[in-house]
Amino acid sequence: MISLDLTGKTAFVSGSTQGIGYAIAKRLAEAGARVAINGRGAEKVESAILALAERGLPSENLFAAPGDVTTDEGLAEALGATGDIDILVNNLGIFGAQPALEIGDAEWQRFWEVNVLSAVRLIRATLPQMMRRGWGRIINIASDSAVVIPAEMVHYGATKSALLAVSRGFAKEAAGTGVTVNSVLAGPTHTEGVEDFVYQLVDTSTPWAEAQREFMQEQRPQSLLHRLIEPEEIANMVIHLASPLASATTGGALRVDGGYVDSILP
């Protein structure tokens, strides 16, 4: 029998008040894990927990862990509410379209801090205890843009490429300990942030269904789905990697990209 039972495990999902992170947190809680909901503001975190509870998830499986994990102070605040973590999902990330030659140093640094260093900080804080206990899962949410660098957001693609290297390197650090470290290459996904991004590239007066089709045809024609991926579809891969079933999968970059990356590997 295939079991995705995570009862007794504690999970932390960075940036989990909306979008992909929210879907991942929901899926982990459905599997029985105790899930820390993270975001910069306590009010937004509590709203996400309420929304999840209204979907029928047990309130005892959800708890607030607010804090800006891009800073040492915010990291300490978030982890202080959590206790020992068995499953870490580094989902926090930012993106946005900007011509490559117009991206200044400050913007490059901001993307690096949020998309790469927040994950590194959380891994450093949680991996040692996982290794001591002999079990753990670290899953970094990367992107197809790590492999197919988009011309309209080079800085985003570069940081997601770095995240693949971070995943592989920490997997080697955890070798032989029972802890796995993987990354998930998420393809173009339907979230509120992506809707805003699409309308940076498509006329804002265009109805959403038509705007999505135009975006996929003109900006992401490599997709074999010909549609945006739903957050729940990303969460399904994450829940597998978080489970005991994925005990032999580590150091990998797993694709949920709708066939966007035109390559056999990764």
Q: How far is CA 136 from CA 11, 131, 174, 212, 232, in A?
A: 10, 7, 10, 38, 22
Q: Which helix or strand (DSSP H or E) is residue 142 part of?
A: strand 136-143
pLDDT single digits (tens) 18-40: 999 999 999 999 999 999 999 99
Q: What number does CATH give the domain 10-188+230-256?
A: 3.40.50.720
Give the span between the Cα atoms of 64 and 116, in whole angstroms: 23
Q: How many CB atoms lie within 10 A of CB 23?
A: 23
pLDDT single digits (tens) 38-81: 999 999 999 999 999 999 998 899 999 999 999 999 999 999 99
What pLDDT score was predicted for residue 2? 65
Give the residue from 9, 266, 225, 12 showing the smallest Cα distance to 142: 266
| 3-class DSSP state of 187 | coil
Mean pLDDT of the chain: 95
pLDDT single digits (tens) 84-128: 999 999 999 999 989 999 999 999 999 999 999 999 999 999 999
Positions of CATH 3.40.50.720 in the chain: 10-188+230-256
156 is catalytic: yes
